Amino acid sequence: MCGIAGYVGQGNEDTLRKMSGVLSYRGPDDQGFFINRHVGLAHNRLSIIDLSPLGHQPMANEDNSIQIIFNGEIYNYQDLKKDLLATGRHQFKSQTDTEVILHLYEDLGTDCFAKLNGMFALAIWDETKQALILARDRLGKKPLYWTISQNTIIFASEPKAILSHPLVRPELDLSALNKYLLYEYIPTPHSIFKNLHKLEPGHYLVFQNNTLVKKEKFWDISFNCSANESPITLAQAQTKLDDILTKAVNSRLVSDVPLGIFLSGGLDSSTVAYYATRGGQKIKTFSIGFQEPSFDESRYAREVAAYLGTEHHEKFFRVTEVLDLVPHVFSLLDEPLADASILPTFLLAKFTREKVTVALGGDGGDELFCGYDTFIAHRLAKYYDYLPSWLKHSLIEKIIPLLPVSHHNLSLDFKAKKFISGYYGPLNYRNQRWLGSFDRLEREQLFKPEIWQELQSQNEFIDLDQLLLPLCTQPYFNRLIYTYLRTYLMDDILVKVDRASMYNSLEVRAPFLDYRLVDFVNSLPLKFKFKGLTTKYILRKLMADKLPASIINRKKKGFGLPLSGWLSGALKPLLLDIFSESAIKRAGLFNYSYLQKLLTDHFAKRRDNRKLLWTLTVFELWRSHWLDKK
């Protein structure tokens, strides 16, 4: 895993070194530069495959006409290398996957990206064509940002490197802020900074002759079975899933440095751990726990580790140690991300890095196999549709607002009130209404009138509209799975894991996001994945004789943080500081009186405003770091 940065147009060595320097934690093992009259490429290397100096980047082909910088891992590179060697046209000087991409591009041009199975963000400078090519992997595992200013394209793994270029200044994009307050993250292709973009997953772009000449998709998520295939049975699907999972995990165990598994004790990470141990090798597993019993679930990871016979490592933290991370972690983020689980994820990555350089995780399982509680909520909503109006409006929806407010994590009143508040409105937006933070009315009250005047005509759901337009004939749950993969997974979960791990110079691999597995699972009938109210149905069936029953039947938990109590307790002084009248008026974005009401209602337990207040807290920590100091 690495960090990349560069430009084509205006720039110099000093600029390039500054861009590379701020990404040093992404690749502490080596640093390399390519500079000519108007091109600069920089690479920070975290050595994983071929630890020798021959893996140094930027890497050139035989005649130096092509240069590449690459962040990621290609899991089928050995097979691709054999094919390239068979042509007799190429000589390899290293054992890296980087060199395979380089020669594959020589043969196939931009068609090469569809051949790669892995996670990647890369830049290729083609001297002959005087063209820069940027490409990002199919599921958006690896980040890649870009902008164009004064006929110069500037790109990097993270915005902070782009902002180190003198042509770029940090300027808040109000439209992106409006989306953040709804989504709790910035949806691709937007970023929180004006005119700075994320490259979409499964896309490449070409910059040539001082302009963006092409941006094309080379892969997309599909739900269609082959017309020539007979309907698959559940038993056949389990057999094939077993085979694909075996290959996906085994290919991600290839490493020239120590490797381990993130093990939470949930079904997804336990499945990855099982397949990792099936080859007979001793596998290291890692989990963290908390000294407060109500907050600790490390026993499940310990149970799985004992069952599989892994070399298990665990570390216990106090909740106060998580709280102490709040100002630190959120000042590191280049964009606001209101997923509080980045805090324990950061601690887990830091602890894991003490023993290994690569870790496998279970990300993607919930999205592919309908594992979230919201899938159940969508099915229950269908039944709710059929209830008589008088029962819904005159009884249920009168009682739910009267439920006493609890500060417990995902309490009954929180879930019931969220269900009703998100139930009404366009169906394609329902999931986001349930997952998100500020609805439209709340944002109207939050923003100062002159700012809302600028934003109110915008459709904050336009990104969902554009994503779902090609899927308009697909069943609803397929659209829901697609939305999860292309929004919440990519712009929240994968960003969280990438930043938390890379700040600790740790590479994390996700076997569930092998595109062959994604294609297969998405081709299966919904009832194989979500049967009745049972989520992950086929995965549970597959693992029934491979893991303890307590793990197979365990309800999804994740890192359950007591945010509501924190905000009215340990974090209250921080909130009172960042939401002080002087601070809010100085920033000039929000209505102070509305913010005060959010705070006082939450502190008095009149309303559970945890999502609203946390989303704003993260933004204010980000804003004070990036905008107040500019």
Name the DSSP letter for residue 480: H
Helices (H) and strands (E) in the chain, counts: 30, 19
**HEC per residue, 566-607:** HHHCCCHHHHHHHCCHHHHHHHCCECHHHHHHHHHHHHCCCC
Is 2 in contact with 144 (CB distance < 8 Å)?
A: no
Strand order in the sheet with 507-509: 311-317, 284-290, 259-262, 358-360, 507-509
* Active site residue ranges: 2
Taking the C-alpha atoms of residue 512 and residue 207, their distance in angstroms, rounded to an integer, is: 33
CB 189 within 8 A of CB 197: yes
What string of DSSP letters covers 277-305? HTTS---EEEEEEESSGGG--HHHHHHHH
What is the distance between the alpha carbons of residues 192 and 173, in angstroms, rounded to a whole number?
6
CB 355 within 8 A of CB 313: yes
Task: Give the whole-angstrom CA distance, residue 154 versus residue 161.
Answer: 9
Contact 484, 223 (CB under 8 A): no
- List, in sequence order, the alpha helices (H) in 354-411: 365-368, 373-385, 389-391, 397-399
φ, ψ of residue 559 to 5 degrees: the values are -80, 95
Task: Tell me if 234 sits within 8 A of 538, measured CB to CB.
Answer: yes
* Helix, strand, coil abundance in the chain, percent, nearest 5: 50, 15, 35
Cα 116 to Cα 127, 210, 440: the distances in Å are 23, 28, 41
Could you tell me which residues come within 8 angstroms of residue 542 by beta carbon, excluding any fewer than 6 positions away?
238, 241, 242, 245
Per-residue CA distances from 209 to 38, 127, 267 (Å) = 12, 12, 51
For residue 100, give every residue at least 6 positions away whose Cβ sits within 8 Å of its Cβ, in sequence order, or none.
Answer: 74, 77, 80, 81, 84
Using CA atoms, how far apart are residues 263 and 312, in angstroms rounded to an integer? 9
DSSP structure string for 179-205: HHHHHSS--TT--SBTT-EEPPTTEEE
